[in-house]
Homo-oligomer: A and B are copies of this chain.
Amino acid sequence: MAVKSTHLVSVKHRISAGERARSNKHRGGVLWFTGLPGSGKSTLAVETEHKLFNNGRQAYVLDGDNVRQGLSSDLGFSHDDRTENIRRIGEVAALFADAGFIVITAFISPYLKDREIARQAAGAIFHEIYIDSDIETCERRDPKGHYKLARAGKIPEFTGVSAPYEAPESPEFSVDTQNLSVEECVDELVQYIDLKLVG
């Protein structure tokens, strides 16, 4: 018995990315959506996840709904807290991609520097996707009524109104939600993902 238990040493032979990709028939990757409030990040993330899932992919969305009340429940919306929130999401997204998932993150993530930190966590499998719409269009949509509250001074540090949004300088991909329908945007996104992560 004592002899047996000495066999309990760490081998640490993890499943490789290649092994997971062969099994899933696609690689893992981080699709990092960034854009103004109301640009369509969350809608497009969830709709793209659906289409990927229906195509047999392992896909998952990280967004405010499943992160802000859990992992980041200790954080607010100050600059430092936003930075820490994005850092954590970057690390979690990297874990999901390592596990073979196509993970889509849907957060404003307004600062270039924060997005760079997220990119570093995932490495080469990080894809910055600009969900592109001008602020007038976003404000007209105002799906959650937040622009209205921000203009009335009731939400402090609201991106686009009282806090900056730094648009991507050279995103891997972008979709024009100002001029395309949801369906058209999702089609473009799935095409891009298939190109990069499948086959």
Contacts and interface: CB of A to CB of B under 8 A. Distances in A.
A136 B137 CA distance: 67
Contact of A46 (B11, B46, B50, B53): B11
Interface in A28-43: 40, 42-43
Chain B CB within 10 Å — which of A4, A10, A70, A88 has the most? Answer: A10
Interface string A158-179: 0000000000000000000111
A15 interface: yes
A91 to B, nearest CB: 4
A139 to B, nearest CB: 12
B65 A12 contact: yes
Contact of A121 (B47, B70, B91, B101): B70
A128 interface: no
